[in-house]
A and B are shown apart, each in its own frame.
Chain A
Amino acid sequence: MFQVDVDYLKKAKKRREYAPTVISILLGFAGIVSFLPLIYLVVTAFKPAEELFLYPPRFYVSNPTLKNFTDLVSITSNTMVPFTRYLFNTVLITVLYIFAMIVVGTMACYPLSKHKFPGAKGLFKLVTNALLIISGAAAIPSYIIVTGLHLDNTYLVYIIPGLANCTCMFLLKQFLDQVPDSIFEAGKIDGASEWQLYTKIALPLLRNAQATCVILTFPGIWNDSSASTTYIYEEQLRTFAFFMSTLQGGLARQGANAAASLIMTVPSIIVFIVSQSSVMDTMAHSGIK
């Protein structure tokens, strides 16, 4: 009886040997298909004008050129604001927003996870349900509130309205839930104040979760053009994404468009590659229990 079982297990072990290879190869093909449009974007950004309008269309580029990028600069040379100003705004806003959002989110997640204060459960339930809220559904009341607080036409309008990011706070809290309470209790016994518990224990432990928040919010803020359109009246305060959205239209500028799209998308991918391992670590705890 026992002998049969062992054979069975051996067979099962053997059968598992080749399956990962097959899956890897099939998945590799799917991955290439999934990645192909991005490669095409890179190729298009370096295509000279005569190759953009070939018939039949050709995927690869034979004479790569930087002309599309220089075009992009020259398009803005006759507008009031140079191309670099938009880029500077976007970088500044992205860095400030992500930093502030993570500070606010981290501050909130610590008590919600580790203190049993009255209302903690209710507030967290509210945040969980808020994942279902459609941002943008209440555009006009938001507009009235934001202009009422005189945030419009300043850099602050990019940062403050989005500070309470429920998805990130949710992830941070779920991540901190996995940390045993005993660590904090030990700290308390050693005489640490609440503030020390937060800064010396909770914050270092949350580093991976914070990296996840960076990657989850980065594309959104980097690609956002709506705040510029809605709240900003001065051209020099607008973002690169806004500038991109004014470029859209017509295949005539296809090359310059592709170059601009490339500038838009590459940073997100780089941020993801850099932070991937910490992201995975956090997302493992992402579930709603």
Chain B
Amino acid sequence: MSKKEKKLKNEPSVVVDSDNQELATGKKKKDYTKSYFRFKLHEMGQFKMSYALIAPFFICFITFTLLPLIASAALSFFYFNALSLPRFIFWDNYLYLFVEDSLFLKAFSNTLYYAIIVGPVSYIASYFFAWFINQVPKRLKPLYTLAFYAPSLTGGVALSVVWLVVFANDSQGYINSALLNAGLITEPIQFLQNVNWIMPVIIIVSLWSSLGTGFLSFVAGFTNVDKELYDAAMVDGITSRFQRLIYIDIPQTMPQLLFSAVLTITGSFTVGGISQALVGHPSPEDAGLTIMLHLGDYAGQRFEVGYASAIAVVLSALVLGIGRLAFRLLSDKG
């Protein structure tokens, strides 16, 4: 992209030169790069309307998405507290991040723990629930889709009022009350205080609300699979649902698999809000601390912008790396 942008900017001056040269000398096609640019500019001139239409989107995109990201990457090499001028300190932020900041390591391992469970489980669950929904009678499909999609629509955070009661620490909590009645425990489990329970509770609530956009795209993707393929496969002796899943459904929904993977990856590594809503921030012994919350601390509370940027860069690199891997695995074009 950057290369292309540069090209766009540089073109006019180059082209004017080549134009004059050609007029003056009558020589043509000596300089292939210049005539290439000239050709390109002419081509661009024909697409004025196209550029005008995409302009608002890309101006906003560059100003509010790309530029902050680049600025953030640059700031990660500085000490900057938003008051005095940034001071260049090279990789000291990163050094501190990985060597000295034990809280970051805690946040990092919590996030990884969360992402490794919630990412794959919600991804596979989305796929299979969508697959099952595809087998039910057509009339019932919208109802089922709504039942599974609604939790993510409300967001786990908005529903924390429900989950706080379900997992309440005292005997008034639904789970504690049920376990006490069943005689499985003698005193209530401190779900939202006990360090060992905090992450599992966050994960359970997240999984409940994790059938989101990816799930919808699967449901829709399955309806799009050509039904004639099933008949053709039946003639070839493929009759069981699972064989059909492997030989027809999965290959046919490959594009949705990638789209959903991308959304799942970004979603699971940016966990934060739900932890804050359930166990508070700071949580007991930082058991619910995630990279996003840690980042928020340094950016929003302590104003150590350079350091916060380093955290952001590490997180972005992690997501981008895993995302690119998904692209490579699931897309033929990469």
Contact status A118-B44, CB under 8 Å: yes
Which among B135, B173, B177, B315 has the highest number of chain A CB atoms within 10 Å? Answer: B135
**Bitwise interface map of A from 260 to 289 toward B, beta carbon under 8 Å scored 1, else 0:** 010011001100110011011111111111
Whether A23 touches B53, Cβ cut-off 8 Å, given contacts A160-B64, A265-B159, A286-B256, is no
Contact status A251-B164, CB under 8 Å: yes
Cβ < 8 Å to A, chain B residues 148-182: 148-151, 153-155, 157-166, 168, 171-174, 177, 181
Cβ < 8 Å to A, chain B residues 29-76: 40, 43-44, 46-47, 49-51, 53-54, 56-58, 60-61, 63-69, 71-72, 75
Q: How many Å from the CB of B51 to the closest CB on chain A?
A: 7
| Bound CA–CA A34/B125 (angstroms) | 13
Q: How many Å from the CB of A198 to the closest CB on chain B?
A: 7
Indicate whether A82 reaches chain B with its CB closer than 8 angstroms.
Answer: no
Contact status A288-B61, CB under 8 Å: no
Which among A112, A115, A167, A286 has the highest number of chain B CB atoms within 10 Å? Answer: A286
- Which residue of A20, A258, A268 contacts B137 across the interface (Cβ within 8 Å)? A20
| Bound CA–CA A264/B153 (angstroms) | 11
| Bound CA–CA A129/B315 (angstroms) | 15
Cβ < 8 Å to B, chain A residues 122-156: 122-123, 125-127, 129-142, 144-146
- Which residue of A140, A219, A261, A268 contacts B305 across the interface (Cβ within 8 Å)? A140
Contact status B265-A23, CB under 8 Å: no
Contact status B316-A137, CB under 8 Å: yes
Whether A111 touches B53, Cβ cut-off 8 Å, given contacts A37-B151, A279-B216, is yes
Chain A residues with a Cβ under 8 A of chain B: 5, 8-9, 12, 15, 19-20, 23-24, 26-28, 30-32, 34-35, 37-38, 40-41, 44, 53, 55-57, 104-105, 107-108, 110-112, 115, 117-120, 122-123, 125-127, 129-142, 144-146, 160-164, 166-167, 169, 194-195, 198, 216, 219, 223, 244, 248, 251, 254, 257-258, 261, 264-265, 268-269, 272-273, 276-277, 279-289
